[in-house]
Structure 1
């Protein structure tokens, strides 16, 4: 949901955020890289952008610092807003590098896609992205939909995968956003033969509703820090009921060289979902500075 980066409300929020940041300039209109990106291609400079939510800002900071460690000059333009604006700026060369999510990005460029596995989604992106853009290597890390339970429930009922829920689903209440049942009830039944006793609209409180027993299972994003603080576990989606949404660098082809690609692919090779979840706990719960969290992770993974 948050990865859609769209709707008028998000765009308005982005505009207000930019105004509040001071300096009076719109980071989209003040980009200093030409559409050809010739400076970056010569190893001089890239512009790293992000959407306006904490995880995407953190990922952009990780990319930026990894590039700087390889001698690339980086300009940051963070907290920009909607995917429509971000992709358009990347296409024109105003932005060079963006952290993206493969499934959400494919759904944006191809409204009719039915791809679900990582390989199929990446293949769809290679076919449907504007000619100026490409995705590099996806990380193992995903910020994806999940069905999540307490660790105690998982242990008691022997739950490790969504398929394991089939044996107990008809005794479980499931929670999620208001549209969760209409979007997923048939999908779960077709993919896993999974049915639930009751569907509850728990919205943003889903993780807490799982913890307090209002529901036994719920739809929680896989990098939500409440998974850690509420002692929850996301069940493995072995049959791709939810389309793969691995984190991936989206780049302007003309504005990146082999040094840039190699540095970003090295980040993807190290980034997994449990690791990102731990980083997001530091940012969202502990309120640590994103740049500090990024530096710590890069150092721990020998990327600085």
Structure 2
């Protein structure tokens, strides 16, 4: 699932290859020393992934592991190429992205099966998946509290019953992807077909504006969007298990994990705390009106949850 980037940049193939070696404006090196090589921590260039990468680095440092930060690298292709080529050693990745975008396998909705497939598939590159978070950065539908109350909307099935009374706004591709609107219309074809009174497309980065401005009743959301918590929206439960799983997890070079086995437990403890609701709050601290620094948001959360010594 793609999210709005913090810094938009044009990356050529040559730049992608040399990115980590050249560094970027977000890199820093831990003062921790020792005979062992540092772990180079990367992240994609969206708020959520950037926060998680910073948390990984903080946890490693707290466990006496030398760290080099190479955060905010780019999209999936750039970041995965960096770990595959050894320019970084770990970063936060999504199970669904690993399965579909990287391994080029069909969509799978069973989260355990997805984890098993990516764990097995990434062994080809000597990359391990740690336990994923409950956080699921997949599609959903968001409505205001007033709309949820008026139509008694709690689930996607509820939305299907009232869709003909409502206006839907959606980002690019949602009306053509089989795992999006066409698939839902097929699923509910004998129950009204999931047809809306009206629907229109909006830019991904602006997907909440029509809803907040009263121009639509329902908008397409992503599970961990900060706008959901920041604007007190209601995300409808996927009671039919329609959308695929995009659970986030640390992926790491297996040699580094063997070299520093003490990092597995605290990283997986962090993952256990990463719910949709929690990530929404953290994203909003950065992207909302307060505009906090990512490093401060990450450190504050880890300290409050006993992950920093």
- TM-score when normalising by structure 1: 0.84
> Does the 8 A contact of 1:49 with 1:95 survive in 2?
yes
> Does the 8 A contact of 1:136 with 1:248 survive in 2?
yes
Unaligned runs of 5+ in 1: 19-25, 32-39
The structure that is helix-richer by fraction is 1
Instruction: Name the CA distance, whole Å, in 1 between partners of 2:168 and 2:11.
Output: 31
Cα distance change of structure 1 residues 159 and 242 upon mapping to structure 2, 3 Å threshold: same
Instruction: Name the CA distance, whole Å, in 1 between partners of 2:128 and 2:77.
Output: 16
- Residue 223 of structure 1 is matched in structure 2 by 224
Secondary structure at the counterpart of residue 306 of structure 2: coil
How far has the Cα of 1:63 moved from its partner? Answer: 0.8
How far has the Cα of 1:45 moved from its partner? Answer: 2.2
How far has the Cα of 1:217 moved from its partner? Answer: 0.8
How far has the Cα of 1:4 moved from its partner? Answer: 11
- Residue 199 of structure 1 is matched in structure 2 by 199
| 1:1-304 pair list within 5 angstroms | 1-2=1-2, 12=10, 27-29=19-21, 45-129=38-122, 130-183=124-177, 184-193=180-189, 194-203=194-203, 204-257=205-258, 258-285=261-288, 286-304=290-308
> Does the 8 A contact of 1:142 with 1:245 survive in 2?
yes
> Does the 8 A contact of 1:115 with 1:124 survive in 2?
no
> Does the 8 A contact of 2:230 with 2:281 survive in 1?
no
Cα distance change of structure 1 residues 301 and 116 upon mapping to structure 2, 3 Å threshold: same
> Does the 8 A contact of 1:3 with 1:101 survive in 2?
no
> Does the 8 A contact of 2:140 with 2:221 survive in 1?
yes
Instruction: Name the CA distance, whole Å, in 2 between partners of 1:93 and 1:259.
Output: 21
Secondary structure at the counterpart of residue 98 of structure 1: strand
Q: What's the C-alpha RMSD, in Å, of the aligned pairs? A: 2.7
How far has the Cα of 1:13 moved from its partner? Answer: 5.7
> Does the 8 A contact of 1:208 with 1:230 survive in 2?
no
Instruction: Name the CA distance, whole Å, in 2 between partners of 1:276 and 1:14.
Output: 31
* 1:144-187 CA-partner distances (Å, limit 9, x unpaired): 22111111111222212112112201211211113211122321
